[in-house]
Amino acid sequence: MSEIIAHPETYFRNLVPERSDLLLALEEEARREDIPIVGPLVGELLYILARATGAQKILELGTATGYSAIFLAQACAETGGRLTALEWDDAMARRAAANLEKAGLSAWADVKCVNALETIAASTEHFDFIFMDIEKEDYLPALAHCARLLRPGGLLLADNVAFADAAPFNRALHEDPAWREVSLFAFLPEHSPEHDGLCLAVRMGADTFKG
């Protein structure tokens, strides 16, 4: 049987996707200012999932400077979808809007300066894809609202689920029949931090396979 590649972290670090000068500048800014962005691997994963599912309505909870939003909005530009990105820090929300503009993607994305938890609690809008990246202790209270706002078959991706504050969310999601989920603990070059968990879940519902 074939063996695992020697020094897999070095090897996979060399397979990180190429990115634009703007994204590289945002990564440099994030390092300098200690902004915990998803980095190129999870960014590309967001693009791939949004593109492959053809998600028309995408909601991002926690946007910071707009790094992850750029990947989601790129998919929207190709599928005719639309991203709503929620960020409660006014300066960050402005930077995110400016960066989406620089990326030529502002036609596909709205950045709203709001408390994401309060906004989803008050919302009745339905989404195809929700990306969760707010304070980890808010993941659990956000979960019931995500279940209500995601259409059956809709996708939830939660970042940083290896943080202790995300543990109650992980357990609740794992035990809730409203979801099918996988939690992955992964090496994620240039993610903050590089060893972290990602959770992918699909909202079960009327189209659930019962066989």
Ligand X SMILES: C[S@@+](CC[C@H](N)C(=O)[O-])C[C@H]1O[C@@H](n2cnc3c(N)ncnc32)[C@H](O)[C@@H]1O
Q: Where on the chain is the footprint of ligand X (CB under 6 A)?
A: 36-38, 62-64, 67-68, 86-89, 92, 115-117, 133-135, 138
Strands 57-61 and 127-132: parallel
The pair phi, psi for residue 83, each rounded to 5°, is -105, 130
Minimum distance from CB of 122 to ligand X (Å)?
A: 13
Collapsing DSSP to helix, strand or coil, 177 comes out as coil
CB of 4 to ligand X, least distance (A): 29
Q: Which helix (H) or strand (E) holds 29?
A: helix 21-33
Nearer to ligand X, 5 or 24 (CB): 24
Whether the bond into 40 is cis, omega within 30 of 0: no
The minimum distance between CB 157 and ligand X, in angstroms, equals: 11
Q: Closer to ligand X at the Cβ: 47 or 88? A: 88
Q: Is 29 exposed, middle or buried (0-12, 13-18, 19+ CB in 10 A)?
A: middle
Nearest residue to ligand X, by Cβ distance, number only: 62
- Residue closer to ligand X, measured from CB, 87 or 128: 87
3-state helix, strand, coil in the chain (%, to 5): 45, 25, 30
Q: Least CB distance from residue 207 to ligand X, whole Å?
A: 29
Q: Which is nearer to ligand X, 133 or 196 (CB)?
A: 133
Beta strand residue intervals within 68-172, DSSP E: 82-87, 109-113, 127-132, 150-158
Of the pair 79, 99, the CB lying nearest ligand X is at 99
The nearest distance, CB 7 to ligand X, in angstroms, is 27
